[in-house]
Structure 1
Amino acid sequence: MAGRTPPFAPFEWLIAWRYLRARRREGGVSVMSIISLIGVALAVFALIATLAVRSGFRTEFVNTIVGANAHVSLYDVPRYDQYGALPRGIENYDAIAEMAAQVPGVVRAAPLVSGQVMATANGRNTGVEIYGERLEDLRTIPLVNDPETEQGDLSRFDEGVALGLGVAQALGLSVGDTIRLISPDGVKGPFGTTPRIGDYEVVYIFQVGRYDIDRTRIYMPLAEAQSFFNREGRVDAIEIMVDDAEEVDRVVEPLLVATGGGLYTVTWREQWQGFLRALEMEDNIMFIILSILVLIASMNIVSGLIMLVKNKGRDVGILRTMGLSEGSVLRVFFICGASIGLAGTAIGVVLGCLFAIYIDPIFNAVNWIMGGGVWDPSVRYISQLPAELRLEDVLKAVALSLGLSFGVTWFPARRAARLNPVEALRYE
């Protein structure tokens, strides 16, 4: 009869439930069960919260890259002219930009002049990067046209320059003030090169949320940038944006074919591969470390079950003499351990999801308690702590927790199943 007992029969669940809720003096381990449940819940919560923050950090980091920078840049292949000089730049840039814009997947193709200069105002100096763009092209840069914060009027771009909020703060500038730009590569004369100096009105101030952009970038009208950097009739690159930045590699070859050769490409992945690899490595390391935390929490279930098996040895002996099979005993204790793991995982998932959803008020409270300064954008490159709750991250955490909880439960449950009823009842 015992051999025909269906797995996980109702009476097995009933026995397991009685063991779980039994008080200590009755031979139960309810306190250990609660401790094990809390340990698993906290471990799963930490895992989900960390994965959410890491996913949000990468997404925010990538979005600020692809939202304010070219997804692909086209450059002229360096070659010497008849005089042995190495001219720099693309001459027929409008035609090339038009051809690039026809490639499927390309949503933006714009000529660009860039250079590094010294900026000064109000007795302060700082190094900045100049990006020469046309107004109509600048409006197609998502994080510049629609930034986190903005001051001034972008439509007046042709009358001055647009700069990041960090540059404005470093130089004490506001909209309507004048900024002086100094380039060492200026006017060439018989006695050498004279630095070029230009004064420009600040017409627009933006904040995209990336420290290295807000702190260093200034946009200048394309024609003025060509004159300022001695690029008359030429540009440094053609900026390309595509509809799916994550699949940027699929448009590289079509771009080279469409533009007729003589150019080479640099994608945003190639330009930022060091940061992306660091993020990926950090993700893997954090997952391994937190997996160990989940394993440690799961081991509490083992200690609780071992105590339960020891305390319930007499009960097991009686049940075995009544015809309960080894499989039924194993399943009873397996249900005890698995229930703790399942309940702890469920609580941890809820807590982790709530943390990811309400991370802003939580982080603000922590920042207030710590007196501010918890988040340094100059180190982390983005302005605030992000979090992105992804289904695959939650499923990974659930699978890991349940897998470890069920796995470690098997061994003490197997020990209980193999308990000899004669030995268990010898001294009773």
Structure 2
Amino acid sequence: MQRSSRPFAPFEFMIAWRYLRARRAEGGVSVMTWISLIGIALGVMALIATMAVRSGFRAEFVDTILGANPHTTLYMAPRQIDDETAVPGIISDYDALTQAVAALPGVTRATAVVKGQVLVQAGDRSNIGQVYGLTLADLKAIPRVADAETGIGNIDDFDSGIAIGSGIARELGVGVGSSVRLISPDGAQTAFGTTPRVNAYKVAYIFTAGRYDIDQTRVYMPLAEAQSFFNREDAADEIQIMTTDPERVDRLTPALLAAGGEGAQVWTWRDSSGQFLKALDIEDDVMFVILSILVLIASMNITSGLIMLVKNKGRDIGILRTMGLTQGSILRVFFLCGAFTGIIGTLIGVVLGVALSLNISSIMAAVNWLTGGGAWDPAIRGIYELPAKLRGIDLLKAVSLSLVLSLVVTWFPARRAARMNPVEALRYE
């Protein structure tokens, strides 16, 4: 009576490993093994690097939004003067409303802001600017702006000047201490109509928020000066709010609307960037599916290699069966042959993928140098560099996918080897 050995006995590993070792007479099998291993390694590397870059891009994009913009904004609906004319709503009692909003659970900071669009000029150069009027304390509370490592000048001098983005400073060719002119079409009312308002201000501070569109357009002005410049005497345009949990900012909307009263409206950071983030999520899913197909194609090479191995080892299978090995043992031997290839390829792919992700900045710098600086355009992508963020869940997904596919495609040729009739295998030997 044939006695079954325990599953995955040491001799099964030994036979499987010997079959995978290169031999001159079985070069085809060895070549297919190497092709399978390299294909899986490259597929896993690409999958890990892509997911790391996508995670890093999303994290950096969200961080630049939340680091220089409010999590949510409370403002008043436009006022209708007549059938054809409407004026933007303003907040007259902004001090009381700011204190009421700041007292709401989940709110960390509330800031009264005056907003307006201007033309910024220095010499014969000009640029469009979006002005935010606020206090020095509120400016210091903006993480991406009040960053001593990226800022130029002393932010404490803000009350005696203005703060501008590094993009505007570069376009206008100005630095700290330079003078710029702000021109607003909504100026003083005269008998001949509205005249543009032109004021000169000293640049007290230059910031880099990390987003191209912010650095290229944003200007911060002391609140009192902004109220005077934009004809907002004792009023504000909106209340900008920071929260403890930006990802769940929508939960605060009912309380904010109640605090604002009639005509109040809310605009969250998800309203302004939600569609882009949804597009990123869809792209993440599509990229994962595409790269998973690449890993599957690489795994299918294991099937080809194992079929060739089973064909070349027909005589060995017959001898092993006559020596007492069961179908289960033969199945496990050839299953281990494919599993070794998948596991080793996956491990190599993980190492290469992690190394590529950790050095993505250096790689992109080299690519930019080779292409003359056109590989990463911040004017299109919004942020200045291609970031990468390795997450444990992404590594787990890549490893699990590769191993599962490798083991699944290994099963079928291993099962074919186990069902081989030893008599037929030895008939012509």
Aligned AA for 2:158? F
Cα distance between partner residues in 2 of 1:66 and 1:399? 34
Instruction: In structure 2, list runs of 5 or more residues that go unmatched.
Output: none
The answer as to whether partners of 1:20 and 1:28 remain within 8 angstroms in 2 is: no
Q: Distance in 2 between matches of 1:26 and 1:38?
A: 19
CA displacement, residues 221-255 of structure 1 (integer Å, 9 cap, x when unaligned): 11111122222122111000112222222322333
> Which residue pairs with 1:7 in the alignment?
7
Match of 1:142, SS state, is coil
In the alignment, what sits opposite 1:393? Answer: 394
CA contact (8 A) 2:74 2:260 kept: no
8 Å CA contact 1:27, 1:311 repeated in 2 = no
3-state SS of paired residue (2:333):
helix
Which residue of structure 1 lines up, in the alignment, with residue 186 of structure 2? Answer: 185
Q: Does structure 1 residue 154 correspond to structure 2 residue 149? A: no
Compute the displacement of 1:27 (Å).
7.3
* Alpha-carbon distance in 1 for matches of 2:31, 2:313: 16
Matched to 1:237, the amino acid is: E
- Pair 2,159 (structure 1): closer, same or farther in 2 beyond 3 Å: farther
Structure 1: distance between partners of 2:377 and 2:3: 65
Q: Deviations over 1:310-352 (max 9, x none)?
A: 1111111221222222222111111110111111111111111
Partner of 2:31: 31
| Alignment partners' CA distance in 2, 1:27 and 1:197 | 82
Residue 126 (structure 1) aligns with = 127
Q: How far apart in 1 are the matches of 2:345 and 2:51?
A: 18
Give the drift of 1:399. 1.0
- CA distance in structure 1 between the partners assigned to 2:405 and 2:284 by the alignment: 20
- Report the equivalent of 2:344: 343
C-alpha displacement of 1:63: 0.1
Aligned to 1:74: 74
* Length-normalised TM-score, structure 2: 0.95
User: Which whole-Å deviations, capped at 9, do the CAs of 1:183-230 have from their partners, x for residues lacking one?
Assistant: 111112232211111111111111111100001111111111112222
Contact 1:33 1:304 in 2 (8 A): yes
Q: In structure 1, give the amino acid aligned to 2:97.
A: I
CA distance 1:85–1:69, change in 2 (3 Å): closer
Identify the residue that residue 202 of structure 1 maps to in structure 2.
203
Aligned residue identity for 2:360: I
Q: Is the 8 A contact 2:75 2:89 kept in 1?
A: no
1:297-376 correspondence runs (5 A): 297-376=298-377
Alignment correspondent of 2:114: 113
Letter in 1 for 2:180: I
Asked whether the 8 Å contact 1:37–1:341 carries over to 2, the reply is yes
What residue number does 2:61 align with?
61
CA contact (8 A) 1:22 1:28 kept: no
Q: CA deviation at 1:102?
A: 1.3
**Secondary structure, aligned partner of 1:149:** coil
Deviates more, 1:215-224 or 1:413-422: 413-422
Q: Is the 8 A contact 2:77 2:88 kept in 1?
A: no
What SS does structure 2 have at the residue aligned with 1:401?
Answer: helix
Partner amino acid, structure 1, of 2:104:
V
* Aligned-partner residue type, residue 336 of structure 2: I
Check the 8 A contact 2:78/2:86 in 1, yes or no.
no
Provide the residue aligned with 2:100 in structure 1. Answer: 99
**Superposition RMSD in Å:** 2.0
- How far, CA to CA, are the matches of 1:12 and 1:85 in structure 2? 83
Classify the secondary structure of the residue corresponding to 1:375: coil
Q: Give the 3 Å change call, closer, same or farther, for CA 128–85 of structure 1 in structure 2.
A: closer
Separation in structure 2 between the aligned mates of residue 62 and residue 314 of structure 1, nearest angstrom: 62
Note the C-alpha offset of 1:105.
Answer: 2.1
- Tell me the residue number matched to 2:49: 49
Identity over aligned residues, as a percent? 62
C-alpha separation in 1, matches of 2:318 and 2:262: 84
